[in-house]
Structure 1
Amino acid sequence: MDTKKTIHSLSDEILENLGRLVAIDSQLGTPAEGMPFGEGPAKALAEGLKIAEELGFKTVNLDNYCGYAEMGEGEEIVGIAGHLDIVPVGGDWTYDPFKLTRDGDYVYGRGTTDDKGPVLEALYAMKLLRDSGVKLNKRVRLIMGCNEETGSKCMEHYNQVAEELSCGFTPDANFPCIHGEKGRAFLMAYSKNTRIISMNGGFVANAVCDTCTTVVPADAGLKEKLEKALSEAKLQEYSVTKENGELTIYAKGVPAHASTPAFGVNAAGVTFECLAKAGFEDDFVEFYNSHIGTDCDGSGLGMKFADDYGDLTLCNGIVKTEDGVISCTIDIRVPVTLKEADVRKMCENRLEDNHGRIEIVEIGEPLFFPRESPLVNALYKAYTDVTGDTENQPMVIGGGTYAKSLKNIIAFGPEKTGIDYRIHGADEYLLVSGMEESVLIYMEAIRNLLAI
């Protein structure tokens, strides 16, 4: 059997099934009886399990927290964990985010790469292995989760009601292989005194604030100074309008995932920076610029740090005003060699002054597997055998995946280094050629894991 040709012949079928999943708005909704994450994620799970059943797999729904498709027999389980929930649409889409749209090798839609597409890539890898007659000395289980983007409560439930995985991967990150994930610290900043009338921007905490609207008093000469400062910033769009003694500032930056905030332009951060440059004197403007800023490295909090596996990064995702108080989310990705106590000590003297305060909400532990571990070697070999790429090596990332929630798995694909698939942004896409290659890589990965 020419596996590549077989995968190519199935490409349209895979995309048709992906379209069924993309059509469902599966972002976190209002919990209801039997639907812990709302109607959308429950519908997506039902559709995902239905597709698996149509392909001949045994399926189990675990109380609409998650479900799985399984093949093979044995005590041990090779696990593959992907998610069907999505982040809010956000941004300015060229295409309908809930209608799969193909343009040559590009296929657009929310969830195409994060993570509905990879779920189907893994499912078809299982199908092709099964159909090839490969000996299944272990069970192979594809878990479809419904709450990865907002807390991974789905995997907490899996751990309570289902069996532990022997080894496996989550197709929700990068190739060639992820052997470590930074820890995540979540903080909130609050104004104490501010002349800013209102400021609202961003749509999720784990992505750079890409648009922001701010209202301030129209001080004499401020409009012209602001327009000059904004024109020199790296914004996609901006405007300053004056009405009833107030200035309304609109800023459009560039979206990016919180694990790589330097790829984006923080519209809120730029607005604060430009207010200061324009001479707008304000306590919270000073606090934000000195403690958070636009550098993305945590230096304002005394947290600038790097180890052999990567830098600490800081992302401001949401800014909002309630009852005269401005709040800002702060998402920090912490290098794997830092412990919680280290993080707290680094910033303890920078959390509050007369102008504002910052609260540490939580600090999550990092994940790390040694490069030479059997799991890392098995997955990396699958990647290199299919692609021939030995230049790119196993890496540590800033993103968090199900690997932190389930034992004995690490993140593995499907994103290629150097390609921006626009996950968490407008016009998210996958490449059909990449999808077909990923199916082949995942086939080899499962083979290797069956042999461990």
Structure 2
Amino acid sequence: MSIKEEIHGLTDEMLTNLGRLVAIDSQLGTPAEGMPFGEGPAKVLEEALKIADELGFKTVNLDNYCGYAEMGEGEEIVGIAGHLDIVPVGGDWTYDPFKLTREGDHVYGRGTTDDKGPVLEALYAMKLVRDSGVKLNKRVRLIMGCNEETGSKCMEHYNEVEEELSCGFTPDANFPCIHGEKGQMGMMAYSKNTKIISMNGGFVSNAVCDTCNTVVPAEAGLKERLEAAFAETKLQEYKVTEENGEISIYAKGVPAHASTPMLGVNAAGVTFECLAKAGFEDDFVKFYNEHIGTACDGSGLGLKFADEYGELTLCNGIVKTEDGVISATIDIRVPVTLKGEEVRKMCEDRLEDGNGRIEILGIGDSLFFPRESPLVNALYKAYVDVTGDTENKPMVIGGGTYAKSLKNIIAFGPEMPGIDYRIHGADEFMLVSGMEEAVLVYMEAIKNLLEI
């Protein structure tokens, strides 16, 4: 039996086990004793470690922050770090997000690609390498975290209580290979004065605000002017209604990850833009359009910048109204050659005026490994040897992964070029054929890393 046939023979078992993980709502919950990220993340970690135990691996739970499955012997550790927590469901799902649903080659459910599916792919790659009789001169450790989507405190804990990794990867990004990750900058925008009665939209800060509900005071002819402005947009859907002296606006945009906001349509941004076009005079409408807008390039904050590895991107994920103040989250991905203090200086004179203000919450460092480093070469070779794809090259991405939290690892798969798996959006999916291929790629990657 060929290795591809062997992997294919395990497909039903892998999907059954993935279904066990997808069925658990592992969003960040309320911390409790022994459960630092709440009940869901602790429960999914317990289930994942149980699966690994059933497959014959040594398993360790690190205080429900994270855990690992391990095989092999030696001082050095080949690390694979994936996460079991998920973002909120959000959006309009066709399928139950907490029930694995297969339709042909597609398998739907929250976490199928980000990142429960890849964790299972890596685990089965380890099993197949072990069962093939390859000499395990290093330990191979699959670390399963519970807080990647909301701060990676799970890996902070790992670094406090466990050994450093010698080399490895996180299966939480794209093939063929990620040798750099942009820095990340968080901001919050606040209104000072606004006539807007309420504005609420979005569900996470690291995804484009894809729906937005807004209420403004009615003005003569405003409803008609708004409808004319919305008709010229790229929204999927909109509705403008007038009642009791108020105009209500519903806008449905297009979801996208904060690392690629240009692939989405920001429902809040479009609403602000249309309010201005319709002649609705308002301080915060003016502030938002001048400083944030819909361009996704940070130009309104003086941050338009690109290097050879990519351009700076800006994403507004959430807008909400509290006590008459509108706030908006801003997620900026910073090119790898730009330092945090340089970014701060570029925008410091654009953060406040009479109409609104923006607060910098933090600036995270970028990650970069030279293209010709042994780690990058080992992983890229595994991808090429399995897929035969030499057109797509190692790249730099805007997303942030565990590679920024753990030493000596980079992001590696499993998303294939040109496919939108709808991560962080409705109807997230994985491909069964892609799962089988990823297992084979990860097998080759483990074998290559055992040799460097």
1:104-123 aligned within 5 A: 104-123=104-123
SS in 1 for 2:353: coil
2:93 alignment partner, SS class: coil
The alpha carbon displacement at 1:244 in A equals 1.1
Per the alignment, residue 285 of structure 1 pairs with: 285
Q: RMSD of the TM alignment (CA)? A: 0.4
Q: For 2:48 and 2:281, locate their aligned partners in 1 and report how far apart those are by CA, in whole Å.
A: 54
CA deviation after TM superposition for structure 1 residue 360, in Å: 0.4
Amino acid at match of 1:26: S
Provide the C-alpha distance between the structure 1 equivalents of 2:186 and 2:285, rounded to a whole number of angstroms: 21
- Residues of 2 paired with 1:2 and 1:310: CA distance? 40
2:27 is aligned with 1:27: yes
Q: Distance in 1 between matches of 2:340 and 2:70?
A: 38
The question of 1:264 aligning with 2:272 is answered: no
Counterparts of 1:187-202 in structure 2 under 5 Å? 187-202=187-202
Written as runs of structure 1 = structure 2, the 5 A alignment for 1:115-154 is: 115-154=115-154
Counterpart residue number, 1:49: 49
User: 2-side partners of 1:277 and 1:243: how far apart?
Assistant: 21
SS in 2 for 1:451: coil
Task: Report SS of the residue matched to 2:251.
Answer: strand
For 1:346 and 1:418, locate their aligned partners in 2 and report how far apart those are by CA, in whole Å: 33
Which residue of the partner structure matches residue 368 of structure 1? 368
Aligned to 1:235: 235
3-state SS, counterpart of residue 346 of structure 1: helix
1:163 and 2:163 are equivalent in the alignment: yes
Question: How far does residue 363 in structure 1 lie from its aligned partner after superposition?
Answer: 0.2
Quote the residue 2:217 is aligned against. Answer: 217
Q: Distance in 2 between matches of 1:381 and 1:347?
A: 41
The alignment partner of 1:143 has SS state of strand
Structure 2 residue ranges without an equivalent (≥5): none
What is the rounded CA distance, in whole Å, between the counterparts of 1:223 and 1:35 in structure 2? 50
> Residue 438 of structure 1 aligns to which amino acid in structure 2?
A
- The answer for the alignment partner of 2:381 in structure 1 is 381
- CA-CA distance at 1:126 after TM superposition: 0.2
> 1-side partners of 2:239 and 2:227: how far apart?
7
Distance 2:186 2:431 in 1: 33
| Correspondence for 2:81 | 81
Matched, 1:172 2:184: no
Task: Provide the C-alpha distance between the structure 2 equivalents of 1:307 and 1:419, rounded to a whole number of angstroms.
Answer: 25
Distance in structure 2 (CA, Å) of the matches to 1:227 and 1:56: 62
Alpha-carbon distance in structure 1 between the residues aligned to 2:441 and 2:134 = 16
Q: Secondary structure at the match of 1:216?
A: strand
1:235 Cα deviation (Å)? 0.6
How many Å separate the matches in 1 of 2:14 and 2:68? 18
1:97 alignment partner AA: P
In structure 2, C-alpha distance between the alignment counterparts of 1:386 and 1:402, rounded to whole Å: 25
1:232 Cα deviation after fit? 1.0
2 CA distance for matches of 1:390 and 1:190? Answer: 47
**Separation in structure 2 between the aligned mates of residue 398 and residue 304 of structure 1, nearest angstrom:** 15
What is the aligned partner in structure 1 of residue 334 from structure 2? Answer: 334
Q: How far apart, in 2, do the equivalents of 1:287 and 1:52 lie?
A: 52
For residue 357 of structure 1, what is the aligned residue in structure 2? 357
Q: Which amino acid aligns with 1:419?
A: I
Q: Deviations over 1:75-103 (max 9, x none)?
A: 00000000000000000000000000000
Corresponding residue SS for 2:34: coil
Give the SS at the match of 1:214: strand
TM-score (norm 2): 1.00
Query: Partners in 1 of 2:65 and 2:160 — Cα distance?
Result: 11
Question: Is residue 414 of structure 2 the alignment partner of residue 414 of structure 1?
Answer: yes
Residue in 1 aligned with 2:442? Answer: 442
User: Whole-Å Cα distance in 2 between the matches of residues 243 and 62 of structure 1?
Assistant: 56
Q: Deviations over 1:54-94 (max 9, x none)?
A: 00000000000000000000000000000000000000000
Amino acid at match of 2:389: D
Stretches of structure 1 lacking an aligned partner (at least 5 in a row)? none
Aligned match of 1:96: 96
Post-superposition Cα deviations, 1:222-248, rounded to whole Å, max 9, x if no partner, equal: 000001111111111110111110001
**Deviation for aligned residue 1:198:** 0.5
Structure 1 Cα separation of the partners of residues 134 and 2 of structure 2: 15
Structure 2 counterpart of 1:276: 276
Q: Secondary structure at the match of 1:226?
A: helix
Distance 1:14 1:322 in 2: 45
Letter in 2 for 1:32: A
Supply the distance in 2 between the matched residues of 1:116 and 1:55 (Cα, whole angstroms).
Answer: 17
Amino acid at match of 1:346: M
Deviation of 1:130 (Å): 0.5
2:59 and 2:420 map into 1 onto residues whose CA distance is 33
Residue of structure 2 in register with 1:320 after alignment: 320
Q: Provide the residue aligned with 2:58 in structure 1.
A: 58
Helix, strand or coil: the match of 1:184? strand
Structure 2 partner of 1:451: 451
SS where residue 216 of structure 2 aligns? strand
Partner in structure 1 of residue 300 of structure 2: 300
SS in 2 for 1:128: helix
Alignment match, 2:404: 404
AA aligned opposite 1:208: V
Does residue 390 of structure 1 match 2:394? no
Cα-to-partner distance string for 1:333-352 (whole Å, 9 max, x where unaligned): 00000001110111011000
Give the partner amino acid of 1:182: K
Aligned-pair CA distance for 1:112? 0.1
Q: CA deviation at 1:417?
A: 1.1
Matched, 1:206 2:200: no
Distance 1:73 1:344 in 2: 46
1:39 corresponds in structure 2 to 39
- Structure 1 segments, 4+ long, off by >4 Å, are none
The 1-side partners of 2:116 and 2:19 are apart by 10
Which amino acid in 2 is paired with 1:86? I
- In 1, the alpha carbon distance for the partners of 2:129 and 2:366 equals 33
Alignment length, in residue pairs?
452
In structure 1, the partner of 2:348 is 348
C-alpha distance in 2, partners of 1:440/1:255? 31
